[in-house]
Amino acid sequence: MNPFDDNRANDNDDLTELLNELPEVDPPATIVPTVMSTIAGSARAVTTPRVTTFRRGSTMAKKVLWSLAGAAAVALVALRVVGYPPVKEGTEATIGAAQRYQAPQVAAADVKVEDQQFQDFLQSDLFRELVNDKAAQDAVQNPDLQKALADANVRAVLANNEARLAVANNARYLVRADARRDAIAQLKLDAKLRAALEAALEASPALVAAISQANVADALAKSSLARVLARPDAALAISNNAVLQVMRQASANARNDAAVNASANAATNARIK
């Protein structure tokens, strides 16, 4: 081959033949469904404007935004240090009593969740819902499910409502290698989704192990976990160790709060009587 000649018909030397002999490989069947389900679940619309404009049409520079955000953070820290807002006298005992029952909060320095996408998830209603859902928590803390959700193909399949329900309802067949193909063939899913599900189960022993546990399979369909899995960004977040750590602590706090409230209500009822 003469590399200065653009005509491939003249590429007939041994090295070119060796290279041309490498087989063209068919792409995995999961690429199209994974990409399409991910972009469907993506919160960001491609048409979303990326810049902030003011009345006169000027563009707000990123560094100005960062400066404002930094100033706001400094102000918040300063207010925190000087103790604002002031606590009214007479409330100390009530607050103190409640604090005795609370587990220590997770400090920012304890857990670093640096990805903005994960930070957004931690601030969402969905996260609060998940933290307060015992069945979902049990499933989320399952190591097999965590490992399975680290795989983008598994997340893509479980993001689809029909596929997720099918997995939850047919888990006992899908976990069996000898029955899986027949079970998938009978699912009322379109061909691409069936192929993606089969590929995900074949490629992820962790997914098979996860859905072989009844509490995990049930949670896929019924609990707030289903709403998390429907969003690939949220599903990715719950496979992140730092997010899981925050979630464990928040869930423990929520249970403690519930116990404190129950205790306070019982005491109040006793006084009324």
Partner 1 sequence: MVDTDDAAVVERCLAGDHNAYEAIVTRYQKGLFNVALRMLGNYEDARDATQTAFIKAYEHLDSFDREQRFFNWLFRILKNECLNVLRGRRPSEPVSPGLQAGNGADPVEARERHQAVQEALMALSVEYREVVVLRHFTDLSYDEIAATLGIPAKTVKSRLYTARQQLGDRLVEWQVAR
Least distance (Å) from partner 1 to the CB of residue 65?
A: 19
Q: Which helix (H) or strand (E) holds 269?
A: helix 241-272
Contact 168, 244 (CB under 8 A): no
**Cβ-based nearer residue to partner 1, 183 or 193:** 193
Stretch that binds partner 1, among 36-44, 78-86, 103-111, 134-142 (CB under 8 A): 36-44
Q: Is 43 in the site for partner 1 (CB under 8 A)?
A: no
Q: Is 23 in the site for partner 1 (CB under 8 A)?
A: yes
Taking alpha carbons only, the member of 184, 150, 192, 152 closest to residue 167 is: 184
Q: Is 150 in the site for partner 1 (CB under 8 A)?
A: no
Determine the distance from the C-alpha atom of residue 193 to the mean position of all C-alpha atoms in its chain, rounded to a whole number: 21
Q: Is 15 in the site for partner 1 (CB under 8 A)?
A: yes
Choose, by CB under 8 A, the member of 39, 60, 73, 79 that binds partner 1.
Answer: 39
**Cβ-based nearer residue to partner 1, 200 or 247:** 200
Least distance (Å) from partner 1 to the CB of residue 64?
A: 22
Stretch that binds partner 1, among 24-32, 116-124, 167-175, 215-223 (CB under 8 A): 24-32
Q: Is 230 in the site for partner 1 (CB under 8 A)?
A: no
Q: Is 32 in the site for partner 1 (CB under 8 A)?
A: yes
Stretch that binds partner 1, among 39-47, 70-78, 134-142, 241-249 (CB under 8 A): 39-47
Q: Exposure string (b/e) for 184-220, b if CB count within 10 Å is 16 or more? A: beebebeeebbbbbbbbbeebebbbbbbebeebbbbb
Q: Is the N-terminal amide bond of 85 cis, ω within 30° of 0?
A: yes
Choose, by CB under 8 A, the member of 45, 185, 191, 272 that binds partner 1.
Answer: 45
SS3 content of the chain, % helix, strand, coil (to 5): 65, 0, 30
Least distance (Å) from partner 1 to the CB of residue 210?
A: 20
Stretch that binds partner 1, among 15-23, 82-90, 159-167, 170-178 (CB under 8 A): 15-23
Helices (H), 83-176: 92-101, 116-122, 125-131, 134-140, 143-149, 152-158, 161-174
Choose, by CB under 8 A, the member of 9, 10, 12, 34 that binds partner 1.
Answer: 34
For the segment 110-139, give every residue that binds partner 1 (CB under 8 A): none
| DSSP β-bridge partners for residue 53 | 59
**Distance in angstroms (rounded) separating the CA atoms of residues 243 and 112:** 9
**Cβ-based nearer residue to partner 1, 45 or 185:** 45
Phi, psi of 59, rounded to the nearest 5 degrees: -95, 135
157 CB burial (10 A radius; 0-12, 13-18, 19+): buried
**Cβ-based nearer residue to partner 1, 50 or 55:** 50
Least distance (Å) from partner 1 to the CB of residue 23?
A: 5
